[in-house]
Amino acid sequence: MNSFRFVVLMTVLFSATLLMAQAPEAAQRPNTPPDKAVVTVNGDEILAGEVQMAAQRMAQSMAQSGQQVDPQQIGSAAMQQMVDGVLLVQEAKRRGFKADPAVIKTSVEQAETSAGGAEQLDVTLAEQGLNRARLNKLIEDSDLVNQLLMKLGEGIEISDEKISAFYKENPTFFEASEEVSARHILFKVEAGADEETKAAAKAKAEAALKRVLAGEDFATLATELSEGPSGPKGGELGFFSKDRMVAPFADAAFALKPGETSGVVETRFGYHIIRVEERNDARTVPLDEVRDRIRQGLVQEGQQGRIEALLTSLRDKAEIVMVGAENAPAP
């Protein structure tokens, strides 16, 4: 069955301190039915299934980035994310924002495609304790939050002086490593291959190298012979720094001058022939090349500050009650 994960209120920003917060009890109850509320925020319910989806998405994202996943902390952060999302939805409605029907229609269609069809979407929603009505509400809420966050980002002006100051105060951000642009021809060898298989692949690489040295066009040969994913593009790898490639490949590539070709290079992927086309020396990227990127980052920083200030105010005034925990307000 194709997996489906609808990103609930994906634009909600929350700080790393939330990951260290004490986990609300209801978020940690594995036996809570997914269609049952685990917390109310100013009277609006958050269902267990919604928290579970947010937790799954968060755990997946952390795992992909190499972070250690602690189920208890994930549960706490997912609950806080959902609470903050509801608070922002309520604020968006208070300010008069309206969900865009076109956004809802497109999002539902995308959800059906991701799930493997309309019927499969209904099955997956049911497994999470949700239904179409609840899904539509989540999509509407997400659109409302997006509109609110865009509004909070308006009017943030970043002066050239502030951009220059950031550039001067953070020089390591703008250090570019030495890079080369290269093509390669790969003859793959699977892990655990026997010596006979390796020898056959190496022989094919040596034969290809002879053709390169005889003057045949490298890109054409790569398209014809390479067994790597870059083969259809003539073996083109684009620019890369030394730390992005496995050591034998990187050592060989960075030892070449533009226009030079390596011998047969063995890595854990198989046997390569490398042609370096261009080289960029290590340098400090000039301010003019990164001015727009700095401005965008500082605008986002200002927007996040406004969001956090708004959330702090909304949390202080909110009535947040854990369901099934003796109706005690959430800490």
Let me know whether 187 and 117 are in one domain. Answer: no
Token representation of residue 263: 């011998």
Let me know whether 275 and 303 are in one domain. Answer: no
3 part of a folded domain: no
Let me know whether 264 and 199 are in one domain. Answer: yes
Let me know whether 51 and 90 are in one domain. Answer: yes
Strands, E assignment, 73-157: none
235 part of a folded domain: yes
Give the closest residue to 49 by CA, choosing from 125, 112, 111, 104: 125
185 part of a folded domain: yes
Let me know whether 259 and 197 are in one domain. Answer: yes
- The count of structural domains within the chain is 2
205 part of a folded domain: yes
Let me know whether 37 and 111 are in one domain. Answer: yes
Host domain of residue 223: 178-281
Q: Tokens 């947010």 label which residue?
A: 54
169 part of a folded domain: no
Let me know whether 202 and 245 are in one domain. Answer: yes
- Are 275 and 193 in contact by the 8 Å Cβ rule? The answer is no
pLDDT for position 92: 96
pLDDT for position 221: 97
Neighbours of 33 (CB within 10 A): 10
pLDDT for position 70: 76
107 part of a folded domain: yes
10-residue averages of pLDDT along the chain (331 residues): 34 31 38 80 88 80 74 82 92 95 90 88 82 87 91 93 97 94 96 94 97 97 96 96 94 97 96 97 94 94 93 94 62 44
Let me know whether 70 and 40 are in one domain. Answer: yes
pLDDT for position 6: 33
170 part of a folded domain: no
Domain CATH number, residue 231: 3.10.50.40
How far is it, in rounded angstroms, from Cα 276 to Cα 4? 43
Token representation of residue 298: 């500082």
Let me know whether 56 and 138 are in one domain. Answer: yes
